[in-house]
Structure 1
Amino acid sequence: MNTNIRLDDSIVLKIRNICKHLQLDCDVCIVLSLAVLLGRIVIQDASASIVIFSDAYTEKQWNFRIEQLTKDMSCRELYQNIADGLKKQIKVDADIKIIIKDGTVEVNAENYFTDIVDLLTNYIETALTVLVSTLWDMDTTFISSLQFGMPQEGRISGKNSDYTDIGVLLQNNALLNWNQIAVERIYKRSEQDGFLVQTITYRELMGIAYNIAQELQIKRVSSASIIVTNGIELAVGIIGCIMAGCTYIPIDQNISGRQRTHHSVEEASTEGILYGAEIENIELIDLYKTKIRICMNECPDTPKWRIPTGNEKAYIIRSSGSMGTPKGIIISRNSLSNLVSWRLRQYPLNDIQSILQLLSWGFDGFYSDFFLGLCGGRRLIIPDPNLRTETSLFSFLKQREQAMMTSMVSSLFEYIVNSQTGLVKKLARVVLGGEKIRETSIQKAKELNPSMHIVNEYGPSENTIVSFVCDPISDENVNCIGKPIDGVYAYILDRMGQPVLPGVTGELYIGGIGLMEGYEGKEDNKFIRYGSEILFQSGDLVRQSEIGLIEFISIKDKYAKCFGHYVDMQAVEDLIKEQLPVRDSCVFCSSLSGKDNLIALYVADKNIPAEYLTKLPIPPFAIPADWQRVDKMIHTDSGKVDRLTMKDQYEQGVALHKDANNGVCDLEQVIETVYEMFRQIIPIPRSAICANFFDIGFKSLQLLKVFNKLTNKYPESIELIDLFEYTSISAISERIYNIIKARDGRCISK
């Protein structure tokens, strides 16, 4: 049985315009487009070229960016591959013949023609769009003029990209501020000493960086890891890489840890290492990499640097990955230039004299302010890594007369607001991001500093730090992430990949100039093709308001964010099932305690100690905070565990347990609360409640932070010296419990 599919006239017109531009036969264009889409199913060999024959039998060779097309394939072979692809799609054994002529697709498929018609109807325009977007030598201006499938329905766009190369921005602003201070380092010689300050001018910074750039070029190093201990050396290393067109990988020695540093330096594909004066045993790190020391005493009077052209890789930032395996996110020079140019327009620096850097330089958010300051001619204040969260540093900084701008995660902002150091009054602009924002933090900050300008930036590292901005933000719209920045667009799609209406929740997909080039040495498994566009699947659920602003709802079911890390809950669930004697398990994220924590429920014949979780091959931040046995799991119609229902039942059960005591706390509740406070400082497993503080990584400064939390929760209960006498979570919890019980009898035993 035969049937014909007549393409829409507008589609045929676009096809013919493309064919005319390419001097390509219309029918062949349709065949190729279908081969691009369906051929991926059946063609495995990779090639960069294909020889095709039109109806006039004239041979013409075209280059494609299609990995799955084989070389020297005739039109007839393409027909057959399309037919084979269709057969696999609808799973039939019958012969399928396809004839394409003058924009009409004729299908001979015996009794299966209805399925094939539906399949072709859904695929053909997408297939043609894929063809257009993947031609190697296609004139992009011509494609834009056709608006072939663009803009897609439901597209949310920022303004057009308008940027200046990052090297040009650095050069121009350095010349304008030649003798001004570029970077200020704050450090201590020892814990007992006061704060010291070291500075470097733009002239010195660019001069020393120029020497680094020359050495990188002479030794032909195209990518380098940067291992330093202070912000001035970091700035010199990064600017040197920018001058040389060299990709840099920043490594924060204070937080990276042995495994992450090893992966970043020894297993990364970088060719060299830039290291600071205080880095020891550098010769033991990867003997095969070129090592260049950052010498701070060499500064030419009139450095002449070149500005690289092209779209080199700017940097590779290390993320921990959802299961603790580091991933290298590759960001291009153009993407970085677009972000910095946008920020210079978005955040005028007229009243800002300095930019305070309190984020780790292993976190990509650090570099949005880093380049804003140096490209905007302002002073960067970079405390040494071990001082970033010291309250004494905040007191030291509040003595400054100049207004400051800073970017930070919301938990650090909350800590500063509650630190009572007065630093809040010196912050003219604060950019928040990376975590949920609390209304109370915004309210209190505004009470202390009514003129403070607070902004919320949102974006995955895979889209060059920032994708959306809500400027300004208030305590009434803390979940708002605003609109896309310049050069960025997005879609909110449902589970079927269709755009949702305003007010309806869907998953956020992001595209534009900021998209990463890929993961270093890994497949880009979070990229999807949507029509002619490449999008990044964020994993975040959002919705659009009536006035066009985007509101963050939550992370998609599969992922949770704990202690600044994305955790793949499904992967944790699978490991529990594979390696522990359980029949079923369910892992979800609960914020019942006020913080996002992983909770694990399991079905088993007997109770399994929580200590077993620490033996699983997962990072500390992915270890569930609570581990409970249940009689059975609730499943969806498809047979999967109903994670949302299990979460609701868990939270209702916990709430009932708390209400049952009428506000009277018991020892178990005290232990749970104290454990949570320690876990907020260092992500420790529940099995560590009996371990010595100092054996699990706590130091005096961190215990002081815990003490402040404990005294806020349990006033007049313990003194600081108690933390050094009762040196485990269980011991200090029992101490608090006994003091409260003796004081007012509110505690009960079980």
Structure 2
Amino acid sequence: MGRALDLIATAPDTTVASVRLLGDDEFRALAPVRGDRAPAIRTLAAIFTDAAALDPDAVAVEGAGRTTSYRDLDEASNRLARVLIARGAGPESSVALAIPRSVDSVLAVWAITKTGAAFVPIDAGYPAVRIADMIADSGVALGVTLTPQREQLPGTVPWLVLDDTETIATVEQQSSGVVGDAERGRPLRADHPAYVIYTSGSTGVPKGVVVPHRGLAALAAAQAATLGSGRHSRVLHFSSPSFDGSVFDYLLAFGRGATLVICPPTVVGGTELSRFVAAERVTHAFVPTAALASADPDDLDGYDGFGEVLVGGEACPPGLVTRWSRGRTLWNGYGPTETTAMCNVSGPLGRGSTVTIGGPIAGAEEVVLDVRLQPVPDGVPGELYIAGPGLARGYHRRPGLTALCFVAAPYGPVGGRMYRTGDIVRWIADSSGGRVLEYLGRADFQVKVRGFRIEPGEIDAALGAHPDVDYAATLTRTGPAGDLILVSYVVGSPDLAPARLSAYLAERLPAYMVPTTIVPIDRIPLTSVGKLDRTALPAPRFDSAADTAHRPTSPVEETVANAFAAVLGLEHVGVDDNFFAVGGNSLTATRVVARVNSTLHTHIDVRALFEDRTPRVLSTHLDHHSDEAPLPAPTPWNQPEFVPLSPAQQRIWFLNQYDTTTPTYNIPLT
């Protein structure tokens, strides 16, 4: 504040947006915060080839009863790469990959990468229109698939069907030697695209994120420094190939010469995931937050080798940390697709520890800015911007969107770029005295309910701190009265009581942030990539059961209950139903009070409804405020052809007739 006042006094022409609130030392420390020095840049093809050279006879991939050594995977991918090159694949081109998670999908990734082309994962289970949009937008030269998926794919590009007998014969005829730049037609460089991942677009059309090779070695180094996988590790491949988490899986295994254990595509979480991990003796894994929350460590059946787990993709609730940190090391990773899968990783998390996303990995640079694009002090929320070698090129064929999200970096080298994440974070001190980021939520997930701007992630965090809650997700729904309301979905102990959770939140959050209703659910619905499927969450119920024990017993109770129901758009409200629990809020409360006062000749205010929240209790209160019978119910009335003017209308008519030339009350243009 002192610095701002000094500027006002000494430089009154300074704009508010350019006022810097940080001291020089704090500014140097925060603009930007840098990770360790990045390792030497390697292409994904080089990472794969180096992995095969570590121990060619070691098992590279296991899945569906198939076991493939590094030697066999390397040689088979070289043969397939040559077939793809002959069909037009190479640096600066793209190849569609439409194979479910399997040994074949991994082989195809290795082969496409060795051609120098970018692989474009496509889930054959997507709607035909979405697949067509991705194929057309990406401009792929050809695609790779299997027979079961071929019929679901368009014929607008040629498809190489790997399990076709003719394809198998053609591949077998190729050399298994190393694929070089001479065969690719041009050198493979770090800035060539490694893969293109399509994510949801706000316009309804998916957008392709073009990720180059430049940041992959830094990600592999960060994985080695945290999760510590090695040649004897067994790394879970749980991420869908259409999700950039699959790249994380590849690097976690192949970056260290470990074995990649492929989880069947039919396993999406829950008990099946835990039992698969135990049965296959998995030691290291990246699992999306919602998927891990759906599983139970007790289902590991005593297997204690599952020692290193990293979660990411969504905010990590404290309840998940409590359950999964016992007996293993749990990490929290963070990274948009636009920053090469992961750019932050926390320290080991344990029961009671603050859940953070850690600091930037090697090579990454991060700054937290306010709406004026000025760095914020420690502890102050702001939007996260990321720079460094892991940045994507941008969005394929979307120069406008690329320019909007990848902006000039004023706090780094001249000409640098930074990615605007849309994530709200703040710098806090960790146990060692360094700076780490606390994730607060999405800027674009902010909602406005009854005039209040609310970050649902803050409600989720408060619910997640309750000992009975393992996972929480809050979103807006249209209430029975047609207005937006907050609804929280929770997974936890069988004894979960929504009323107790509401009371718990009321002690920690402002009233406008307490959800209208809390819905316990048995499991977390997941999308194909293991994230929360918001569309599959059940609709909340507000109607009260028509129990005769809860029906009105007097005309006053009936009038109040009918007022509740009419304002909230419900068919029935019981006399013991809490107005706010069945969808009411401070705005609809005013309408209920007005209706009750009009009908019963009372003079209660809104505060009375906040104190006496059920028709039964409020009716008792009303008995002391009314000495007249309720008004009769309104009945239809025939409207005359000419309706008399109101006093205000008569006044305006008189003024107009008094001086017809005056412009008073005349609005010629709107």
- Alignment TM class, shorter chain as reference: 0.5 to 0.7
Residue 170, structure 1, aligned to residue 48, structure 2: yes
CA distance in 2, matches of 1:118, 1:439: 44
CA distance in 2, matches of 1:270, 1:361: 17
Distance 1:500 1:651, change over 3 A: closer
How far the C-alpha of 1:462 sits from its partner, in A, is 0.8
Which of residues 323, 332, 344 in structure 2 aligns to 1:444?
A: 323
Q: Which residue of 2 aligns with 1:545?
A: 428
Asked whether the 8 Å contact 1:395–1:423 carries over to 2, the reply is no
* Stretches of structure 2 lacking an aligned partner (at least 5 in a row): 1-10, 20-26, 182-186, 464-470, 489-508, 527-531, 543-613, 617-670
CA distances 1:331-350 after superposition (whole Å, capped 9, x unpaired): 00112233224434544334
Over the matched positions of the two proteins, sequence identity in percent amounts to 20
Which of residues 319, 325, 332 in structure 1 aligns to 2:212?
A: 332
Query: Number of residue pairs matched?
Result: 466
* Stretches of structure 1 lacking an aligned partner (at least 5 in a row): 1-113, 124-149, 187-196, 561-568, 574-582, 611-622, 627-646, 659-668, 691-747
Residue 215, structure 1, aligned to residue 83, structure 2: yes
Q: What is the identity, as a one-letter code, of the residue corresponding to 1:529? A: A
CA distance in 2, matches of 1:491, 1:432: 23
Q: What is the identity, as a one-letter code, of the residue corresponding to 1:162? A: P
Asked whether the 8 Å contact 2:441–2:455 carries over to 1, the reply is no
Residue 321, structure 1, aligned to residue 201, structure 2: yes
Q: What is the identity, as a one-letter code, of the residue corresponding to 1:285? A: P
Residue 240, structure 1, aligned to residue 111, structure 2: yes
Q: Which residue of 2 aligns with 1:270?
A: 140
Distance 1:556 1:456, change over 3 A: closer
CA distance in 1, matches of 2:436, 2:358: 5
Q: Which residue of 2 aligns with 1:355?
A: 235
Residue 303, structure 1, aligned to residue 183, structure 2: no
Residue 485, structure 1, aligned to residue 390, structure 2: no
The 5 A counterparts of 1:669-748 are 672-673=519-520, 683-684=535-536
Which of residues 377, 386, 396 in structure 1 aligns to 2:266?
A: 386
Indicate the SS of the match to 1:183.
strand
Which of residues 388, 409, 417 in structure 1 aligns to 2:296?
A: 417
Q: What is the identity, as a one-letter code, of the residue corresponding to 1:220? A: G
Question: Who wins on radius of gyration, i.e. which is larger?
Answer: 2
Residue 182, structure 1, aligned to residue 182, structure 2: no
Q: Which residue of 2 aligns with 1:534?
A: 417
Distance 1:609 1:309, change over 3 A: closer
Asked whether the 8 Å contact 2:428–2:438 carries over to 1, the reply is no
Asked whether the 8 Å contact 1:480–1:549 carries over to 2, the reply is no
Q: CA RMSD in A?
A: 3.8
How far the C-alpha of 1:247 sits from its partner, in A, is 0.8
Q: What is the identity, as a one-letter code, of the residue corresponding to 1:155? A: P
Distance 1:240 1:490, change over 3 A: same
Which of residues 316, 327, 335 in structure 2 aligns to 1:459?
A: 335
Larger fraction in helix: 1
Indicate the SS of the match to 1:386.
coil
Q: Which residue of 2 aligns with 1:631?
A: none
CA distances 1:602-638 after superposition (whole Å, capped 9, x unpaired): 9xxx94499xxxxxxxxxxxx9859xxxxxxxxxxxx
How far the C-alpha of 1:205 sits from its partner, in A, is 1.5
CA distance in 1, matches of 2:368, 2:76: 47
Q: What is the identity, as a one-letter code, of the residue corresponding to 2:54? A: L
How far the C-alpha of 1:682 sits from its partner, in A, is 6.4
Asked whether the 8 Å contact 2:322–2:352 carries over to 1, the reply is no
CA distances 1:371-419 after superposition (whole Å, capped 9, x unpaired): 221232111111221124363453354244x551000122222222356
Q: Which residue of 2 aligns with 1:29?
A: none
CA distance in 1, matches of 2:194, 2:219: 12
Q: What is the identity, as a one-letter code, of the residue corresponding to 2:337? A: S
Q: Answer 1 or 2: higher relative contact order, Cα 8 Å, separation at least 6.
A: 2
CA distance in 2, matches of 1:340, 1:601: 44
Indicate the SS of the match to 1:305.
coil
How far the C-alpha of 1:233 sits from its partner, in A, is 1.3
Asked whether the 8 Å contact 1:266–1:285 carries over to 2, the reply is no
How far the C-alpha of 1:259 sits from its partner, in A, is 4.4
Residue 474, structure 1, aligned to residue 336, structure 2: no
CA distances 1:101-150 after superposition (whole Å, capped 9, x unpaired): xxxxxxxxxxxxx99x869x979xxxxxxxxxxxxxxxxxxxxxxxxxx9
CA distance in 1, matches of 2:481, 2:391: 47
How far the C-alpha of 1:675 sits from its partner, in A, is 9.7
Indicate the SS of the match to 2:98.
strand
How far the C-alpha of 1:213 sits from its partner, in A, is 1.5
How far the C-alpha of 1:435 sits from its partner, in A, is 1.7
The 5 A counterparts of 1:4-43 are none
Q: Which residue of 2 aligns with 1:155?
A: 32
CA distance in 1, matches of 2:224, 2:295: 26
Residue 366, structure 1, aligned to residue 366, structure 2: no
Q: Which residue of 2 aligns with 1:290?
A: 158
CA distances 1:700-742 after superposition (whole Å, capped 9, x unpaired): xxxxxxxxxxxxxxxxxxxxxxxxxxxxxxxxxxxxxxxxxxx
CA distance in 2, matches of 1:585, 1:648: 11
CA distances 1:55-79 after superposition (whole Å, capped 9, x unpaired): xxxxxxxxxxxxxxxxxxxxxxxxx
How far the C-alpha of 1:473 sits from its partner, in A, is 2.2
CA distance in 1, matches of 2:540, 2:14: 58
Asked whether the 8 Å contact 1:169–1:375 carries over to 2, the reply is yes
Indicate the SS of the match to 2:150.
coil
How far the C-alpha of 1:364 sits from its partner, in A, is 0.7
